[in-house]
Amino acid sequence: MEFLDLVKARYSVRRYADRPIEEEKLTKILEAGRLAPTGKNAQPQRIYVLKSPEAIQKIRNATGMAFDAPVVLLICYDKTVSWKAAPYGDDYDVGDMDASIVTSMMMMEATELGIGSLWVRGYHAQDIIDAFALPEHIVPVCLLDLGYPAENSRPSRLHDSKLPMDETVKVL
Ligand SMILES: Cc1cc2nc3c(=O)[nH]c(=O)nc-3n(C[C@H](O)[C@H](O)[C@H](O)COP(=O)(O)O)c2cc1C
């Protein structure tokens, strides 16, 4: 598919079919994240694949935003590994940005494979840390719910509500 068509085809899926994701497709999605660019190529992303009944129950207990996705990716970064902008005089940690790029790549690969997704930040970070006993240096950034869309899955009304380009882009 032409990339812009793929971008248009993606929407937030909140209803999933009772159908597992094939292992080879999940591997392709994770591969897209592995190949993503990261600051100074530090590759600080740490991805937890939640798919066992126990892990899925834990994430559903921590947030309602896992919906009924058969697989949820918990995307984190290792703050002892991520690149910091300190050489430029500020303490910005690009780990958050790296994890977001990784998530975007995986979301688009899922779309290409016909698998629906939902980017999630609707939770309290401490609940996620506690649920999975994340060590102190592992920073959770977001979840990516994954699964085949249910037959009655439709884009929400927000999906088509996009600002005109001149409100978000300024050519200087
Ligand atoms: C950073 C980020 C966090 C989000 N968190 C949530 C969330 O916690 N729950 C949810 O239902 N949707 C969440 N979304 C989905 C957005 O609401 C959705 O992308 C937006 O409304 C546009 O709709 P569309 O994805 O169908 O185009 C999130 C999206 C992003 C990019």
Question: Is the model's pLDDT at 38 over the cut of 90?
Answer: yes
Opening angle at CA 40, ends 75 and 2, nearest 5? 65
Q: Nearest residue CA, atom 30 of ligand 1?
A: 119
Average pLDDT, the chain: 97
Q: What are the residues whose beta carbons fall under 8 Å from the beta carbon of 155, sequence distance 6 or more?
A: 11, 12
pLDDT of 127-151, one tens digit each?
999 999 999 999 999 999 999 999 9
Alpha carbon of 82 to ligand 1 centroid (Å): 25
Alpha carbon of 158 to ligand 1 centroid (Å): 9
- Provide the token pair at 121: 């930040």
Q: Nearest residue CA, atom 31 of ligand 1?
A: 119
| Domains of the chain, CATH where assigned | 3-168 (3.40.109.10)
pLDDT of 63-122, one tens digit each?
999 999 999 999 999 999 999 987 888 889 999 999 999 999 999 999 999 999 999 999
Question: Is the model's pLDDT at 169 over the cut of 90?
Answer: yes
**Ligand 1 proximal residues by C-beta, below 6 Å:** 11-12, 14, 65, 118-122, 155-156, 158-159
